[in-house]
Amino acid sequence: MAAVEAQRFAAPPKAPEAGEGDQEDNEGDAKAAAAAARETRATWGTQAQLFLACLGLSMGLANFWRIPTLLYDNGGIAFLVPYVLFSLTVAKPVLFMELFLGQFSSQGSVGIWRCVPIGKGIGLCMCIVSVLMSVYFMCFMAHAMMFAWNSLTTELPWAVCSDRWGADAGCYIPRPGVVSTPVLHS
């Protein structure tokens, strides 16, 4: 008897053949499967989590690094007004459209464009741009980490003129009471 029970639990149940069973059973199974899929589907815990995730997607490293430079080069507030208007009227709606399409289709950024055949390559391009931007920003992150690591030394490397980082005779160290004195440390 134990062997029969072990065999029963070892073999997975067989799916019913097409045409077997009652139509109501098939509909009930489909509804149960849909309900199970809804229960296991991930959702945002609160509206605040969704808002902060969207804010994090739209405010990246470029906003803190490039925007001050763009403001300085392009006229300050005169540049900021069209930038914010474009962001609110074009960029944010496209971001929300992508989020909603992904939510309702349960597809990734490549799969959501199957519903619009003309946009077939958009998802792939989005993935490629994401990879390229990640590589681009990794350079800046590595530079920042290098500065953070080097700042843990007793003598800050950028506080002295050193051959180690390529200082030449034109390098000077500002000192109180001294106008400029080129000093090279080896």
Q: What is the pLDDT along the chain (186 residues), one digit of tens a residue?
A: 445 444 444 444 455 555 555 555 556 666 666 666 556 667 778 888 888 887 777 777 777 778 888 888 888 888 888 988 998 898 888 888 888 888 888 888 888 888 888 888 888 898 999 899 889 889 888 988 998 998 898 888 777 777 777 777 777 777 776 665 555 555
Q: What is the pLDDT of residue 142?
A: 92
Kindly report the pTM of this predicted structure.
0.54
140 contact partners, CB below 8 Å, separation of at least 6: 61, 65
State the binding site for Na(+).
Answer: 56, 63
Q: What is the pLDDT of residue 128?
A: 94
- Residue 69 in domain: no
- Residue 23 in domain: no
> How many distinct structural domains can be found in the chain?
1
- Residue 173 in domain: yes
Question: Cα(151)–Cα(166) distance, rounded to whole angstroms?
Answer: 18
- Residue 24 in domain: no
Q: What is the pLDDT of residue 6?
A: 44
Q: What is 112-160 written as a DSSP string?
A: GGGGSGGGTTHHHHHHHHHHHHHHHHHHHHHHHHHHHHHTTSSS-GGGS
State the binding site.
Answer: 56, 63
- Residue 170 in domain: yes
Are residues 95 and 54 in contact, defined by beta-carbon separation less than 8 angstroms? yes
- Residue 56 in domain: no
Q: What is the pLDDT of residue 23?
A: 52
DSSP-assigned beta bridge partners for residue 178? 175
CA distances from 126 to 84, 108, 160, 185 (A): 23, 11, 44, 49
Count of other CB atoms within 10 angstroms of residue 148: 9
DSSP-assigned beta bridge partners for residue 54? none
Q: What is the pLDDT of residue 68?
A: 85
Nearest to 110 by CA among 127, 134, 93: 127
Structure tokens at 38: 């809804």
- Residue 165 in domain: yes
Domain that holds residue 179: 154-186
CA distances from 5 to 2, 14, 137, 138 (A): 5, 16, 59, 57
- Residue 159 in domain: yes
